[in-house]
Structure 1
Amino acid sequence: MEQSATIDIAAPPDRVWQVLSDVEHWPEWTDTVRWVRRVDDGALRTGSQAKISQPRIPTVDYVVTELEPGRSFTWVSGGGAALTTARHVLEPLPGGGTRVLLSVKQEGWLGSFVGRFYRGLTDRYLATEAAGLKARSEQA
């Protein structure tokens, strides 16, 4: 089960990437995240780990499995019966803007159940996060 949100942002990809990849500051621009604690220091990279607390969702650990600086990152949580994969993709738009795709995929027998259970909440969270990213990235 996969859910996604796409939004166009009137800011260059490097600005959007700066906001998006600074995961510890997400609570400043979206109320769907209480806190994020990185396990490692420095720029986000493949292998980076973070613990994330969100309202109405259990706190989880994520590991970055794919990262293309300035373009995208994917991180995963869980495994086996319940695997959550979250993708964050930036695409440059003509005129200097950025199109952002945020997606969450639930896999495994338990993941499928969790995905259906949280479907409405996930849709709302993705939309809220996209809107918050847009607002923060477009700030002067």
Structure 2
Amino acid sequence: MMLTTSAEAHADLAAAWAVLRDVTDWPRWTRSMTTVERLDDGPLRLGSRARIKQPGMQPLVWEVTTFADEAEFSWTNHSPGVRTVGRHLIRATDDGGTLITLELEQTGPLAGLLNLLFGKRNRRYLELEAAGLKSASEARG
């Protein structure tokens, strides 16, 4: 199961990346996150871990599994019966803005059932995050 959403921010790539990379600040600009607690120090990087609490969900630990500075990062959570990957991609547009693309992919024997139960909420959270990232990037840049 894969969910994808995009938004175009009227902010440059550096501004969007600064907002995206500061994951502990996400609850300030998206209602889809209650808390984001880094479990390591320093800037976000490959191997970084964070405990995320979202409304209506138990806290989950995510680990950064792909990372390209000022371009993208993915983080992964492993729960019984499902592996979830959240991808965050940004690309400069021809007009000096930034295209934001967020993806959520779930695989494993329980992925289909979880999509039936929580797919609508997951889509709403993804859209809230894209809209919040767009607004926060524009405010910064």
Which TM-score bucket, shorter chain as reference?
Answer: over 0.9
Corresponding residue pairs, total: 140
Secondary structure class of the residue paired with 2:42:
coil
Q: Is the 8 A contact 2:100 2:134 kept in 1?
A: no
SS in 2 for 1:45: coil
- 1:77 aligned to 2:80? no
Residue 123 of structure 1 and its aligned partner are, at CA, apart by: 1.1
Matches of 1:7 and 1:107, distance apart in 2: 25
The C-alpha deviation readout for 1:100-139, integer Å capped at 9, x for no partner, is 1001001101123212211111111111111111111111
SS of 2:45's partner is coil
State whether structure 2 residue 63 is matched by structure 1 residue 49. Answer: no
List gaps (5 residues or longer) in structure 2. none
Following TM superposition, the consecutive aligned residue runs of length 4 or more in structure 1 with deviations greater than 6 angstroms are none
Calculate the TM-score normalised by the size of structure 2. Answer: 0.95
CA displacement, residues 8-54 of structure 1 (integer Å, 9 cap, x when unaligned) = 00001110010011000000100110000101111110000000000
- Mapped contact 1:82–1:112 kept (Cα < 8 A): no
| TM-score normalised per structure 1 | 0.96
Q: Which segments of 5 or more consecutive residues in structure 1 lack a partner in the other structure?
A: none
Show the 5 A alignment for 1:25-64: 25-64=25-64
Alpha-carbon distance between aligned partners in 2 of 1:115 and 1:22, rounded to the nearest angstrom? 28
Q: Is the 8 A contact 2:71 2:89 kept in 1?
A: yes
Distance 1:77 1:112 in 2: 16
What's the offset of the Cα at 1:74? 0.4
**Identity of matched residues, %:** 35
| Aligned partner letter, 2:39 | V
CA distance in 1, matches of 2:115, 2:121: 10
Bigger shift: residues 107-116 or 21-30: 107-116
Aligned to 2:137: 137
Listed as ranges, the matches of 1:17-32 within 5 Å are 17-32=17-32
Work out the CA distance in 2 between the residues paired with 1:125 and 1:54: 9
Give the alignment's Cα RMSD to 1 decimal: 1.1
